[in-house]
Amino acid sequence: MASHVDPLVVGRVIGDVVDMFVPATAMSVRFGTKDLTNGCELKPSVAAAPPAVQIAGRASELFTLVMTDPDAPSPSEPSMREWLHWLVVNIPGGTDPSQGEVVVPYMGPKPPVGIHRYVLVLFRRGAGVAAPPPDADAARARFSTRAFADRHGLGLPVAATYFNAQKEPANRRRHY
């Protein structure tokens, strides 16, 4: 009988970005016509614009979405781990990030070398929590999803997914 190994463990998302958690909220992510599955590869040009993210839950529940690159600037030497690509707070359940407050605007993948992981982590937070101010937390380089969650009392994630991307030759970029 084959055992199931969580793709977030295989991809080292659990460990490098977040601690082990039990998914408690459904989250779907789509870039153009491509539904995101853990570990899939996307061309940076396909992920240049923010994805369509659908978050389950009741409207009375609020969520925080964090997207980072734990492999910046290079997977072999991630000295800028993690690079913050997107931060949206106070997203009502049953909606998408456009209904929340953008703290750090979306920045598409731009991996300079190697294959980079891009991780989207969802946290549940209580109603009425104010958006964190765009201070040191909003610094893109050396962001820490764990430290951010600790500072703002978010607890463990309720959902996470990731994709891989690598630099694409200029003459092969596809735009949707």
Predicted confidence (pLDDT) per residue in 103-157, tens digit: 889 999 999 999 999 999 999 985 555 555 555 445 788 999 999 998 888 999 9
Domain extent listing, the chain: 7-167
- Which amino acid makes up residue 15? G
pLDDT (tens digit per residue) in 9-63? 999 999 999 999 999 999 999 999 999 999 999 999 999 999 999 999 998 999 9
Predicted TM-score of the model (pTM) = 0.89
Question: Domain 7-167 belongs to what architecture?
Answer: Alpha-Beta Complex (3.90)
Side-chain-facing half-sphere of 96: CA atoms under 13 Å = 9
* Cis amide leading into 82 (omega within 30): yes
